[in-house]
Amino acid sequence: MITSATVGGIYSNEEEMGFRISWWGDQGFGQIGIRKFIHSGVINIDSETMSREFVKEVFAKLVDDAQYCE
């Protein structure tokens, strides 16, 4: 179970742009890196060997805890 998730950093350079999501939960803690390669448009997710379902749980926690501006 994910107990907390937040944006840990945002970056951009000539080759790529991206951000990191830091997370904490029952399994410990970690980061997920999301980057888009500018020239190819490919999006890469570095999950530190966590599953696709786990990454979705982290994103869900980030969205659930976010303040919405309507």
Q: Is the predicted pLDDT of residue 3 greater than 90, yes or no?
A: yes
Does residue 69 fall inside a structural domain? no
Nearest-angstrom CA–CA distance, 44 and 34? 6
Q: How many independent structural domains does the chain possess?
A: 1
Q: Is the pLDDT of residue 10 over 90?
A: yes
Order of all β-strands in the sheet with 16-25:
2-12, 16-25, 28-37, 43-46
What is residue 54's predicted lDDT score, i.e. its pLDDT?
A: 96
| pLDDT per position as a tens digit, 12-54 | 999 999 999 999 999 899 999 999 999 999 999 999 899 999 9
The reply to whether 70 falls in a domain is no
Q: For residue 47, is it within any domain?
A: yes
| Whole-number pLDDT of residue 70 | 86
